[in-house]
Amino acid sequence: MITYAHRGARAYAPENTMAAFTKALDLKADGIELDVQTTKDGEIVICHDHAIDRTSNGTGWIRDFTLSELKKLDFGSWFDQHFAGEAMPTFAEFFAWYLKTPLLLNIEIKNGPVIYDNIEAELLNIMKTIAPKSFDLYNRIIISSFYHPSLCKIKELDAQFKTGVLFSARPVDVLSLIKQTNADYLHPHWHYLDSDWIKEAREAGIGVNSYTVNTPEEFAFVAPLNITGIFSDYPDRWLKS
Ligand code: G3P
Ligand code: MG
């Protein structure tokens, strides 16, 4: 099973910062999961919440700040003084670093309640501009969202990009999510994993990555199921021996 470090290795460093991403690499995670949104001046930045209150010394919504305003804030001290001064990364800054690593990547588009028009096109544009021709964008990266219209938009823009449908409820027909979005992966909360639909998905060539698996009990539930990967705040706990 593949392990993605959730928001970077967020148990060990402030989530969605370069400190968390470099920690994930140090811990030998297979991949990184991160969340993207757009600033007032149209820059794609990495952050989970639409508001910055929980993870910085600022207050308000990302859509109301310019990038230079956000760059003045401290996204590390809330976690530990050791990380004081940690900045909010732009996706482009992260991606330039990421290209030098062997990691897989899951980019989660955080549309809803704020809807960022054009975030899908801008995201693909950044990746295609920065990545060298030799980089395998289509097999190293999955773009996921709880906001399923974003997944349809990605496929309209470039059907070769892999996408993952996030869900946190048990649909009557799980595979219908794939039919609706043309996605390549199902990304359920682990509560909604069950061997029947997993079997059906895997036989249809659909991958399954589940969030967020943190405790030994959660891992014991997930491990016997035939899924592709997990997202974990503690990627080091599940290293293959
Ligand atoms: O992509 C998996 C997981 O990150 C989804 O939930 O709220 O942690 O972004 P959340
Ligand atoms: Mg996420």
Cα 71 to Cα 37, 43, 53, distances in angstroms? 15, 12, 14
User: What pLDDT score does 10 carry?
Assistant: 98
Counting the structural domains of the chain, the total is 1
In this structure, the residue with its CA closest to atom 2 of ligand 1 is: 211
List all residues whose CB is within 6 A of at least one atom of ligand 1.
Answer: 6, 33, 35, 48, 106, 108, 144, 166, 187, 211-212, 231
Per-residue pLDDT of the chain (241 residues; tens, 9 = 90+): 999 999 999 999 999 999 999 999 999 999 999 999 999 999 999 999 999 999 999 999 999 999 999 999 999 999 999 999 999 999 999 999 999 999 999 999 999 999 999 999 999 999 999 999 999 999 999 999 999 999 999 999 999 999 999 999 999 999 999 999 999 999 999 999 999 999 999 999 999 999 999 999 999 999 999 999 999 999 999 876 4
Read off the CATH number of the domain in which 141 is found.
3.20.20.190
User: What pLDDT score does 239 carry?
Assistant: 78
pTM, rounded to two decimals? 0.98
Q: Which structural domain range is residue 98 located in?
A: 2-239
Ligand 1 pocket test, candidate residues 3, 6, 37, most atoms within 8 A of CB: 6
User: What pLDDT score does 237 carry?
Assistant: 95
Instruction: Determine how β-strand 2-6 pairs with β-strand 104-109.
Output: unpaired
User: What pLDDT score does 105 carry?
Assistant: 98
Query: Between vectors from CA 92 to CA 29 and to CA 155, what angle results, nearest 5°?
Result: 80
**Residue written as token pair 């996706």:** 91
In this structure, the residue with its CA closest to atom 5 of ligand 1 is: 211
CB 163 within 8 A of CB 126: no
User: What pLDDT score does 240 carry?
Assistant: 65
Interior/surface letters 15-28, b for 16+ CB within 10 angstroms, e for the rest: bbbbbbbebbbebe
**Residue written as token pair 């990304």:** 187
**189 catalytic per annotation:** no
- Write out pLDDT tens, residues 32-87: 999 999 999 999 999 999 999 999 999 999 999 999 999 999 999 999 999 999 99
User: What pLDDT score does 99 carry?
Assistant: 98
| Cα 168 to middle of ligand 1, angstroms | 10
